[in-house]
């Protein structure tokens, strides 16, 4: 079996069919090899790119989880100046601000508790003073009652003594 082909100068060249099939097979083998190499290369590039993108996001997620549990010292490593790097820097500033706010809140809470304890002591002292004043008032009222009672008894004794003295003094007349 012969096939007529034209070469680059237009001349007709006869080739056997098996040679043509051999060349076609070689072409397809080369094409498949190139496709495999390109596919593997793209897979490797995709994996590297995914690692480059996923690792910073994973680090940020872990740090956010730690901060949410109260571990304020967490920082994210800034790996680049792209959006992920800006996000990491922003997270670090946020974590620092949260740490400072929490420290300030803790300090203010301690001051409030100390102030509350002082006010509680003042309230106890005022309560004791009020009890002492009430006792003094009760004693003063008792003293006034006794004084009034004494004056009344003295008045009654005077009223009884006056006529008796008059009668006793005038018995001789």
User: How does residue 4 score in pLDDT terms, banded at 50, 70 and 90?
Assistant: low
User: How does residue 135 score in pLDDT terms, banded at 50, 70 and 90?
Assistant: very high
The pTM for the full model equals 0.49
pLDDT higher than threshold 60 for residue 60? yes
**Which has more confidence, 144 or 6?**
144
Q: Tell me if residue 3 falls in helix, strand or coil.
A: strand
Percent of the chain with pLDDT over 70: 87
User: How does residue 9 score in pLDDT terms, banded at 50, 70 and 90?
Assistant: low
Short-list 100, 87, 93, 97, CA closest to 61: 87
User: How does residue 142 score in pLDDT terms, banded at 50, 70 and 90?
Assistant: very high
Percent of the chain with pLDDT over 90: 41
pLDDT higher than threshold 70 for residue 34? yes
Short-list 36, 95, 33, 38, CA closest to 63: 95
pLDDT higher than threshold 80 for residue 159? yes
Q: What is the mean pLDDT of residues 18-40?
A: 87
Q: What is the mean pLDDT of residues 9-16?
A: 53
73-131 per-position pLDDT tens digit: 888 888 888 888 888 899 899 899 988 998 999 999 999 999 999 999 999 999 999 99
Per-residue exposure over 66-94, b if at least 16 CB sit within 10 Å of its own CB, e if not: ebeeeebebebeeeeeeebeeebeebbee
């Amino acid at each position: 079996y012969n096939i007529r082909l034209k070469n680059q100068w237009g001349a007709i060249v006869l080739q056997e069919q098996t040679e043509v099939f051999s060349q076609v097979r070689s072409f397809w083998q080369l094409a498949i090899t190139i496709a495999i190499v390109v596919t593997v290369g793209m897979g490797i590039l995709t994996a590297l790119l995914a690692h480059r993108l996923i690792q910073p996001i994973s680090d940020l997620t872990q740090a956010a989880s730690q901060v949410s549990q109260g571990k304020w010292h967490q920082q994210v490593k800034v790996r680049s100046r792209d959006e992920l790097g800006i996000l990491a820097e922003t997270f670090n500033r946020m974590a620092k601000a949260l740490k400072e706010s929490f420290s300030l809140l803790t300090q203010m809470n301690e001051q409030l508790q100390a102030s509350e304890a002082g006010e509680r002591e003042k309230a106890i002292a005022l309560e004791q003073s009020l009890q002492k004043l009430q006792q003094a008032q009760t004693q003063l009222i008792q003293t006034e009652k006794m004084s009034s009672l004494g004056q009344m008894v003295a008045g009654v004794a005077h009223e009884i003594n006056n006529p008796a003295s008059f009668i006793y003094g005038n018995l001789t007349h």
